Structure 1
């Protein structure tokens, strides 16, 4: 296992990953080597598209037409020279003080994606939610750093990443009751800690390892797990590992807001047909001698979907041609968009991307939407008041008085990413977008509908964020509106 300070440095590239496999997993070396070209191509496609969309390079240097979202090319041209490796393309194309950081992340993303492709899921049509989430090998469909695990070495990735299907032994630590802070349903001062985080947690001197271990299965997010012995509960943990754009600790705002936002969104969801919120029932953290919550010592307990239903994240659908048909898509749109637009009208914009949003399927038909993870939503007090609701005492970035920011949160996730990915997987049929447009006209308020139907759509500029001095500050680009 990595040592306590490795979270700042561990980022195995292709060669380092291969060396580790030769020693520890020689059974994967041939498959890993064979998977490298596909992994490079997949990350290259994401980076090439980002260079265009986010205006990171003079487009005359890239040549050719702008690459379409979610289409696969496997090569990119810069200054007339073909490139086949994303990290080498970034090094050649970008002149930023933070280019070296991005190059390192791209190298790590390629290595971990190849490792995922080398260790394929045994079931092409997984039945359980855990299996469905662990069958998703390639992560975020547009982020070039979709498989970064900065801080984990190769053995850590094999031990803890969902695509390798491990059983993770959560460690239970004792907390001094005077240091224990919770929201929502009270819990005793015992904190489940991810095993990668355990030595770092104990080193703070604020918690004590009880020696008790609880088996759990990592979900898409790696740091969020399903308890093996309690299928009704999922747990989000704090892990000092950078995955895609952020180190996945738990901010004081996330701990404070989760149960409060859950109560608000659950109440609004009752006004809709087909949306079920997976509430964050308890959030907990540990405070230091100054009373400051520790981002690295926290957890959020969340409701799980019904254990005996067939539920899968929307991110799984592009890889499920057995399910994803034009008829399935139109039924999904009918189920998904009216609740999201009803909540938007009332002042709550859910970040309904493919990881947070799940669909329940019965006899091959979508029948219910489940939504989880409230850390990324936006709430507008004025719209809430007009809907007869009061803004709860949320802190951090969740409250907003900006209606464009409110719409952007929903549009960038649900429209620019999820729906665009599904339409692309179905061949780009414009009739599918026509159905989306008709649903928006029927379900959105007049002003929201005008924006959604007429303006270019926002998309998070993830590569520009990785090049910024503050990589956590949201940056945006736009894509052409397929409904306009």
Structure 2
């Protein structure tokens, strides 16, 4: 079979030119990166509704997948909630594969070639991401962006956890948060009359009758293909395209590159909804009894193009000194006890289910959801940022006497399945599972957390039904199918 481009070798060749001091470390990190991506891929192969997998047959030595062409794929017993790289190799009709891109190529299923290239890029980028890591410091970071930059491996379950197609090695080192760079954002001046603006656009980002839109340097070079003026220094956060700037503010920039599953531009629709969503979320805060706060959107603007837009948000740090993304919890020196995890799960489920009952389903994965910790490390309250992908139910809001905001489009739905998928898939199968790191740990935390929660229909669904999660591998193998696709994981509580 034709092999995808040798991304590992290409990265090594470029690294030898731009950072030869990292070449040896890069080579040493490749086996672990392959296992990390292969483990994520195996999760997708064993749990997603792939049309060419006709049977999954567990045995004493692992799991066998029977394929539609008669071949058999063997691997270890899968743990859909594991975050460790526990799959070192799988066997396709007796041939061992330790490189995920080679496995995908030889599976030969529709669109396998494209995914194989992405997997190869993910492995090489992940190994590169690990080359600049320093020993973990026991000291609490002085800046909120330092927590974000400790998250090295990306999405805990996506096989494209570190895929950054279109980024050279030099660009990854210059812009990737895990490499801790200082990025110089540029400004593109656009006549204000040609822009859609919501919220308050700051005076410092104006020049007379023109708006100064912050632009990521990668976007300016590769997409806009134009020079930028002036600019400001910024520290990249977990999402790469969102950066921390002076004044406890975060700037979300358009970055028209595919990261994991999606192209990360900023739609005109989301700009138009941003101020209304922010005001609505702030109005809901008083119903949360101090459990959850939202970061305010200060202003948003677009030159009527998803490639040239920006959103200004307040930093989560305004809600507490010791606040960090849930994805960064694994990098902290937290109390190592099942009780801590159960306490955190109780806090997250209480807040998430209460909002869902009111009519708001959060996309509460480890990047959007943050936790405020006490000086002793106990979880005190939550902070949520980036409202662009929440779902809002007018019927549920009306049932609780909450004024329905003037919203339209994808964020508005009364479909119960859609609402529950949004919350359960991101919070339980994402943030909580990623923090727990295994099915056993997740089950223990949830069993303790749900005991005292109000017995709502949503909680009953969480307790009794399989756990929904995005079918991340299937989505990358279905380029003609728009939107999210879903699968079901074994319920850790059953």
CA distance in 2, matches of 1:320, 1:80: 41
Task: Provide, for residues 127-150 of structure 1, a one-character-per-residue CA deviation record: whole Å limited to 9, x for no partner.
Answer: 232111111110000000010111
CA distance in 1, matches of 2:251, 2:44: 33
CA distance in 2, matches of 1:309, 1:37: 38
Structure 2 unaligned segments of length 5 or more: list them. 55-64, 67-71
User: Where does 1:105-124 land on structure 2 (aligned, <5 Å)?
Assistant: 105-124=118-137
TM-score w.r.t. the length of structure 1 is 0.90
- 1:455 paired with 2:468, answer no
1:473 match: 483
**How far apart are 1:437 and its partner, in Å?**
2.6
Greater shift after overlay, 270-279 or 23-32?
A: 270-279
2:284 match: 268
2:103 match: 89
CA distance in 1, matches of 2:480, 2:313: 30
**How far apart are 1:203 and its partner, in Å?**
4.2
Whether the 8 Å contact between 1:310 and 1:360 is mirrored in structure 2 is yes
Whether the 8 Å contact between 1:170 and 1:194 is mirrored in structure 2 is yes
2:219 match: 197
CA distance in 2, matches of 1:362, 1:434: 24
CA distance in 2, matches of 1:353, 1:214: 29
**How far apart are 1:340 and its partner, in Å?**
1.1
**How far apart are 1:433 and its partner, in Å?**
2.5
2:237 match: 219
User: Where does 1:200-349 land on structure 2 (aligned, <5 Å)?
Assistant: 200=222, 203=225, 209=228, 211-227=229-245, 229-230=246-247, 232-273=248-289, 274-286=291-303, 293-306=304-317, 309-320=321-332, 322-349=334-361
1:131 match: 146
Whether the 8 Å contact between 2:424 and 2:467 is mirrored in structure 1 is yes
**How far apart are 1:65 and its partner, in Å?**
5.7
**How far apart are 1:74 and its partner, in Å?**
1.9
CA distance in 1, matches of 2:382, 2:179: 27
- Of 383, 386, 396, the residue aligned with 2:396 is 383
CA distance in 2, matches of 1:84, 1:199: 36
Task: Provide, for residues 418-464 of structure 1, a one-character-per-residue CA deviation record: whole Å limited to 9, x for no partner.
Answer: 2222333696274322113324xx2352x112111100010100111
CA distance in 2, matches of 1:471, 1:392: 30
Structure 1 unaligned segments of length 5 or more: list them. 1-10, 287-292
1:5 match: none
- Of 65, 68, 72, the residue aligned with 2:79 is 68
CA distance in 1, matches of 2:269, 2:212: 20
Q: Residue 457 and residue 242 in structure 1: after superposition, are their counterparts in 2 closer, same or farther (change >3 A)?
A: same
Q: Residue 132 and residue 186 in structure 1: after superposition, are their counterparts in 2 closer, same or farther (change >3 A)?
A: closer
Whether the 8 Å contact between 1:351 and 1:409 is mirrored in structure 2 is yes
Whether the 8 Å contact between 1:256 and 1:394 is mirrored in structure 2 is no
TM-score w.r.t. the length of structure 2 is 0.88
CA distance in 2, matches of 1:202, 1:357: 31
User: Where does 1:380-459 land on structure 2 (aligned, <5 Å)?
Assistant: 380-424=393-437, 428=441, 430-439=443-452, 442-443=453-454, 445=456, 447-459=457-469
**How far apart are 1:338 and its partner, in Å?**
1.4
Whether the 8 Å contact between 2:75 and 2:90 is mirrored in structure 1 is no
1:100 match: 113
